[in-house]
Amino acid sequence: MRRFLALLALLGGAAPALVVPLRGWTPIAGDASRWQGGGGECLIREMRHTQPFPAMPTQQRATAVANRLRASLGKAGMGEVTTQPVDRGAAWAVLAGYVYEEAGARYRVSQLYLSEGGRLRTVSASSAVGTVSPCAASMRDFIRYQAQ
């Protein structure tokens, strides 16, 4: 997997509506692909990319992708990188966790990499490093267990 996969997931793009079943969470500016909770302390964003991303029908395939993604994120300068395959029923996805730094601020990110119609789709959750708001735990649980 190429290094730009990780960077592409951080860039903006058009995305259809995402349902975030978390109490008190609202779409940002009416855009149902971007949600905020905890008074803006926590953000969830869904993005659909044009980049090919084949389905992962087995845990072994998802593990291989997770390992390549971990290396790519590390090379892209992300800190505290972890990746793991996650079961999503009919297929597998990859869950990544890392710390991203921008303009002197550090953000903890949980990001789910999915294949949808052979294209990359990501669902990302982020909050400032050190955020103790209950929204941080609930959004990470949503990404890890519910987002599809």
Model confidence pLDDT, tens digit, residues 44-78: 999 999 999 999 999 999 999 999 999 999 999 99
Average pLDDT on 105-115 reads 95
Whether 107 is in a domain gets the answer: yes
How many other CB atoms are found less than 10 A from the CB of residue 63?
16
Model confidence pLDDT, tens digit, residues 121-137: 999 999 999 888 888 99
User: Which CATH number belongs to the domain containing residue 92 in this structure?
Assistant: 3.40.1000.10
Output 31 or 9, whichever has higher pLDDT: 31
Single pTM value for the model: 0.83
Task: Please answer whether residues 126 and 148 qualify as being in contact, where contact means their C-beta atoms are separated by less than 8 angstroms.
Answer: no
Q: Which pair of structure tokens corresponds to residue 87? A: 């079961």
pLDDT score at 17: 62
**Residue positions counted in the chain:** 148
* 15 has pLDDT over 70: no
- Give the mean pLDDT of the chain: 86
DSSP conformation class of 38: G
Whether 88 is in a domain gets the answer: yes
Domain that holds residue 73: 31-146
Whether 132 is in a domain gets the answer: yes
> What total of structural domains would you count in the chain?
1
